């Protein structure tokens, strides 16, 4: 069992290799509009130890610029170029892997803009594929139209698997919930589900980091997304207990490192600086 506050030889050996940290957002570096305990110290430790970071999020309800503004509002030194979202990953995948020119989108403005920025045409008439994301403006007619396209043989993808988005009001239906409605109607699963823990998302993050997989560590609060993303891509992982995972469940997560908060991780990073 891995004690959150202790440092083993194995942990020291791992941390001495790490050059870039991939950081989840909600439950990891912020809770609502506030930093999690030790978050600011972690960013200081990253800079002091000569490492870099990349914020990696499934949330494409807002743009990377809006994500960055939210994090700066919480007192964290994050710019838009420090963020990789599932919207950017979906746009890249559609252009480079599926070679799409036109797409039908069930998604927020941030997702639509990311697709447009890659030169993709948005259309509801004979698209090359259907893209499903988080969509607060979803209407029955467009949901029906997407089902018709998919039933007719059109490829389709979901930008991320999350079924619910936490909010102060309660849970909002997220991409996974909309995807489930289409699956139930058409009897067809998406051709691919991007976002964490999809391997393609991890590969995109590793490319952006500029390092090899063994030099990168995913830091998050969920075993089923953050830890699994690391495993799928040959990265190391840290599970932080400030979000969705309990201490008991963490011991079964398979994470390489478990910490109570990011302040603990900051101390370990500073004690094990890459040579």
Residues 34 and 91 in one domain: no
Q: For residue 236, what are the domain limits?
A: 9-58+196-271
Tokens 């200081």 sit on residue: 44
Tokens found for residue 160: 């991320």
Q: How many domains does the chain contain in total?
A: 2
The DSSP 8-state label assigned to residue 227 in this structure reads I
Structure tokens at 74: 């919480």
In this structure, the answer to whether residues 98 and 164 fall within a common structural domain is yes
Considering the domain architecture, whether residues 185 and 209 belong to the same structural domain is answered as: no
Kindly state whether residue 13 falls inside one of the protein's structural domains. Answer: yes
What are the b/e assignments for 230-252, b being 16+ CB within 10 Å? bbbbebbbbbbbbbbbeeeebbe
71-106 pLDDT, tens digit per residue, is 999 999 999 999 999 999 999 999 999 999 999 999
Domain final position from 176, 193, 210? 193
Asked if 220 and 170 sit in the same domain, the reply is: no
Residues 159 and 245 in one domain: no
CATH number of the domain that residue 148 is part of: 3.40.50.1000
Q: Kindly report the average pLDDT of the chain as a whole number.
A: 91
Of 193, 215, 241, which one is at a domain's C-terminal end? 193
3-state SS, residue 28 = coil
Domain boundary among 126, 160, 193: 193
Same domain? For 211 and 187 the reply is: no
Which residue has better confidence, 13 or 266? 266
Regarding whether 251 and 158 lie in a shared domain, the answer is no
Phi, psi dihedrals of residue 161, rounded to the nearest 5°: -90, -10
- Give the Cα-Cα-Cα angle 230, 3, 48 (nearest 5 degrees): 65
Q: Are residues 234 and 176 in the same domain?
A: no
| pLDDT value of residue 31 | 86
Judge if pTM exceeds 0.75. Answer: yes
Assess if residue 241 is contained within a domain: yes
Q: Are 91 and 132 in the same domain?
A: yes
Angle between helices 199-209 and 86-96 (to 10 degrees): 100
3-state SS class at 57:
strand
């Amino acid at each position: 069992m891995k004690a959150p506050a202790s440092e083993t030889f194995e942990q020291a050996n791992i941390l001495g290799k790490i050059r870039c940290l991939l950081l989840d957002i909600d439950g990891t570096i912020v809770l609502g509009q506030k930093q999690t305990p030790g978050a600011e110290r972690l960013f200081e430790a990253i800079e002091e130890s000569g490492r870099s970071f990349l914020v990696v999020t499934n949330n494409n309800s807002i743009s990377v610029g809006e994500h960055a503004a939210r994090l700066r509002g919480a007192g964290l030194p994050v710019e838009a170029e420090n963020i990789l979202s599932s919207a950017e990953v979906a746009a890249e995948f559609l252009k480079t892997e599926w070679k799409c020119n036109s797409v039908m989108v069930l998604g927020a403005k941030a997702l639509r803009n990311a697709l447009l920025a890659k030169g993709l045409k948005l259309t509801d008439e004979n698209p090359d594929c259907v893209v499903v994301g988080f969509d607060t403006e979803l209407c029955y007619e467009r949901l029906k139209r997407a089902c018709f396209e998919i039933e007719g043989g059109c490829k389709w993808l979901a930008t991320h698997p999350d079924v619910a988005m936490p909010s102060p009001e309660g849970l909002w239906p997220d991409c996974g919930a909309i995807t489930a409605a289409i699956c139930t109607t058409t009897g067809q699963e998406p051709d691919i589900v991007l976002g964490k823990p999809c391997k393609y998302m991890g590969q995109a993050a590793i490319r952006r980091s500029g390092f090899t997989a063994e030099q990168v560590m995913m830091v998050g609060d969920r075993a089923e997304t953050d830890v699994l993303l690391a495993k799928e891509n040959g990265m190391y992982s840290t599970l932080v207990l400030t979000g969705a995972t309990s201490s008991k469940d963490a011991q079964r997560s398979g994470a390489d490192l478990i910490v109570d908060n990011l302040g603990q991780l900051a101390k370990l990073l500073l004690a094990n600086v890459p040579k």
